[in-house]
Structure 1
Amino acid sequence: MRTMVRQLPPPHLKLPHPSASTPSYRFVDVVSQGNQYAGAVGDRLIPAIPGFRTSAAFLTSLSANLRLTDDDLVPSPMSTPPSMRSSTAHHLPPPSPLSVPPSTALASSAELPKSTTTTSTNEPPSNNPELAALPELRTYAATTPADRIAGLKLVADSVAQQRQLTSRELIFHPLHLAALTLVLALVAQYLYASAADLVLVGTTCGGVVMACLAAVRWVCGGYIFHAETINWEWLGDDEVVVVRWGEEVIGALVLGWSEEGGGAKRARGKGARRGLGLVRGWTVQQKYRGKGVGESLLEEAVRVAGERGVKGVEFAEEHANSLRILPAFYNGFLDRRDARAARALEKVASAKGSFGKRR
C-alpha cells in the first residue's frame, strides 16, 4: 500500500535555497521493500537529510545479500529424488552419509542384492541375546529311563497334591466352619466366669482347633499312600509323554491301551483300528498351568494313539487321580476337574485326531 508522507527538514538544518522565504515541502512514496526504499527514495532524500545515509546504506547491503541466483538454488540431496540430484551437490565430510560421491550414492535399489531389499523388519534378529537365552520347549514321547522317571514322578506328585485340595475343602467348608464356631462358643461359655479365665478359654479353644486340623490331616492321608503306588509296576509298558522346558520336565501324560488295542493287535491287518487309547495320568507343574502345556500333552497323546491305529482316546476309569477318599458330598470339585479334562481331551481328539476319518 502506498501512503503520502509529508517530509519536513529538521529545524537545525538550513534550507538548500536561502532565497526562499517559506519552507518547501517534499512528498515522496514510501514502499515496504527495502531495496526500492533505498534506491528510489534514498537518492532524493539523502541530500536533504544527511543523517539518513547510514540506514539507506544498510538497506541496500541487505537487499544485495538477500538476492538469490540460479546457482544458489541447489536441491537438497536428502529430500530430492536421485534422478533430479545435481552433480554440484555439496557433500559433507565423513562420517556424514552425504560424503559418498554422487556416482555411488545414486545407485538404484534394483542394483542392490536381494537380501537388502527383501529383509522384513518384523522378523526378530537371529542373534538376539534375549531369545537365545530362553530354554527350548519340547513335547515328545519319553524313551529314556530318566524321562520316564521324571514323568512318573510328576504323576505321583499330582496324586499327593489331592491331599492338600481335599484338606482345604474340609477346612473351609461352610458347614464345618459353622460347626467349629458353635463348638468354640460353647467352650467359652462353659469355661469363662471371670477375666482370670481368659487364658484357660484361649488355650482350650486353640486345642480344639488343633485337634480338628489333625483330624483333617488323618482323613486325607490316604492320598499319600496312593501316591506311593505310582511306580514302575503301575506304569507297566504304557507310553509316557513329557514336556521338557530346558533341562526340567514340567508336564507328563501316561497313555495306556485297552485289552483290544495296542501294538500287539496292530498287525492283524492294514489299517485295523481296535481298542482305545487310555489316558491314565495327566499333570503339569503348578506354576506352568494355564499356559497351554497340558494341551500340548493331549495333542501328542492323540498323535501317538493315531500311529497305533486305535479307535480313539479317552480317560481311563481308574486313572491316577480318580481315587476318592471323602464321601461324594465333598468330591464335587474333583469331579468337575475330571469333567473339564475329559472335555479338553475330546476337543483335541476331534480337532487333531483322524480316528473318525479312517475306515
Structure 2
Amino acid sequence: MARQHFLTLPDHLRTPVVAAVGVGDRIPSIPVFKTSAAFLTSLGANLRISDTYDDYYPSPISTPSLRASRHDSLLPPPSPFAFALSTAMSASNNAPDDHDDLPNEPIDPLADVPELSTFHATSRNDRVAGLKLVADSVAQQRQMASRVLIAHPLNLAVFAVVLAIVAKLVQGSRGWPLVVTTWAGVSMGGLALVRWMTSGYINLAEETQWLEWLGDDTIIVSKWGDEIIGACVVEWVSGDGNGKGNRRKKSMRAQIRAWTVRLKYRGKGIGTGLLEDAVEMVNKKGGDGLDFAYDHAHSDRILKEFYNKPFDRRDQRAYTALQKVTSEKGHFGRRR
C-alpha cells in the first residue's frame, strides 16, 4: 500500500476552524500529498467570524456594514485578496508616470499649415489655374444678380400683385388648396425667369477662362499649399491709356484687368497682398501708375441700370483698396 502523509494543523489555527465548523476541539489528521501552509493560514483567516462589533474593521473598498438578522453579528471581513488588490491599486496611483521623465518639447501649432506664397505665375499650370479662378469669380456674379432680382422692392411688389390676382381668380371655384398650388407654380415660374435673366454671366465666364483672353499679361497668384486661392491680372498700356501695342518707355502705365480671391478665403488680407505685389512690380519697372482697367473682367453688367447698385458698390470698394495701397507703397515714375 502506498504510504499516506498526515498533516496536523497548528494550535493557533485549530480554535477558529473548530469554532467555525463546530466539530470539537481536535481536528483529525487530513491525508494529503502536499499541503501549503500559506493556504491553511488564508483558510483560517477567512473562516474567522467576529463575535463583537469592536473586533470588526471595515473593508478598505468601502464595503457597507451589515448585521446578521438572527445572531446580531457582522459579516466577515473581505478576503485577503481584496487587501492585495487595494494595495496594488494604491501603489499604481502613487507610482511616478513614465512620461514625466520625457522632455517637454514645445509643439508648433502651425507645423501642418501650408505656406502662403504670392508670386508671378510663369508656368502654364499656374497661369491656367489663376485664369480659371477669375472665370469662377465672373460666374459667381450670377448669384449676386439673382439675389438682387429676388429682393428688389419693385419685383417684390409686382410678385405680390400677381399672387393677389391669382387668389381672386381661383379661390371662388375650388378654394384655397388650388390657390396655394397655383401660387407655387407662379413662384417656380418667377425663379425660372430670374435664372434666364442672369444666364449672361455664365457666357462671360466661358469667354474669360481661355488663354487668349489672358494673352501676354502678367498674372500674380497667391498659392496656399498646392491650391491657387487668389489672382491678379496686370497689363501694360501706353501712358495715354489707348491700349496695348503703343508701349513707349517714357510713358507706361499698368492696369488691373482682373482681381479676385477664392470665395472662402475672402476677408483675410489675401487680396490686399496681391495689390501690394502688383504695386511693387510697377515700382520696379518704373511705371507711371496703376489703376483698374475700364473693361476689367467684372465690369460687364447684365441687368438693367437700377439693379446694378450692389455691383457699383463692390467696384468702389476695389478702387478704394487700390488707392490705399498705392498711397502707401507706390513710388511711380522712379525707374531703377
Give the deviation of 1:212 after TM superposition: 0.9
Indicate which of 87, 92, 113 corresponds to 1:134.
113
Give the deviation of 1:275 after TM superposition: 2.1
The 3-state SS of whatever aligns with 2:222 is strand
Q: Which amino acid aligns with 2:127?
A: R
1:337 matched to 2:314? The reply is yes
> Any conservation in 1 of the 2:127–2:219 contact (CA below 8 Å)?
yes
> Any conservation in 2 of the 1:263–1:308 contact (CA below 8 Å)?
no
Equivalence for 1:349: 326
Distance (Å, rounded) in 2 between the aligned partners of 1:326 and 1:126: 60
1:324 matched to 2:304? The reply is no
Q: Which amino acid aligns with 1:171?
A: I
Equivalence for 2:274: 297
Equivalence for 1:166: 145
| Residues 280, 332 of structure 1: alpha-carbon distance in 2 compared, 3 angstrom cutoff | same
The 3-state SS of whatever aligns with 1:252 is strand
Equivalence for 1:257: 236
Gapped regions of structure 1 (runs ≥ 5): 1-94, 96-124
Q: Which amino acid aligns with 2:196?
A: W
Q: Which amino acid aligns with 1:157?
A: D
Distance (Å, rounded) in 1 between the aligned partners of 2:162 and 2:171: 14
The 3-state SS of whatever aligns with 1:257 is strand
1:202 matched to 2:177? The reply is no
> Any conservation in 1 of the 2:238–2:246 contact (CA below 8 Å)?
no
Distance (Å, rounded) in 2 between the aligned partners of 1:358 and 1:229: 36
Give the deviation of 1:358 after TM superposition: 6.3
Q: Which has the larger radius of gyration?
A: 1
> Any conservation in 2 of the 1:139–1:243 contact (CA below 8 Å)?
yes
CA RMSD of superposed structures (Å): 2.6
| Residues 185, 217 of structure 1: alpha-carbon distance in 2 compared, 3 angstrom cutoff | same
Distance (Å, rounded) in 1 between the aligned partners of 2:192 and 2:287: 47
| Residues 243, 354 of structure 1: alpha-carbon distance in 2 compared, 3 angstrom cutoff | same
Equivalence for 1:280: 257
Give the deviation of 1:357 after TM superposition: 5.7
Equivalence for 2:4: none
The 3-state SS of whatever aligns with 1:291 is coil
Distance (Å, rounded) in 1 between the aligned partners of 2:276 and 2:245: 23
The 3-state SS of whatever aligns with 2:109 is helix
Q: TM-score, normalised by structure 2?
A: 0.64
Distance (Å, rounded) in 2 between the aligned partners of 1:158 and 1:185: 38
**Segments of 4+ moved more than 3 angstroms:** 125-129, 259-266, 356-359
Give the deviation of 1:307 after TM superposition: 2.1
Distance (Å, rounded) in 1 between the aligned partners of 2:244 and 2:285: 6
| Residues 177, 243 of structure 1: alpha-carbon distance in 2 compared, 3 angstrom cutoff | same
| Residues 353, 263 of structure 1: alpha-carbon distance in 2 compared, 3 angstrom cutoff | farther
Show the 5 A alignment for 1:14-93: none
Percent identity over the alignment is 53
Distance (Å, rounded) in 1 between the aligned partners of 2:106 and 2:323: 41
> Any conservation in 1 of the 2:283–2:333 contact (CA below 8 Å)?
no
Distance (Å, rounded) in 2 between the aligned partners of 1:192 and 1:199: 9
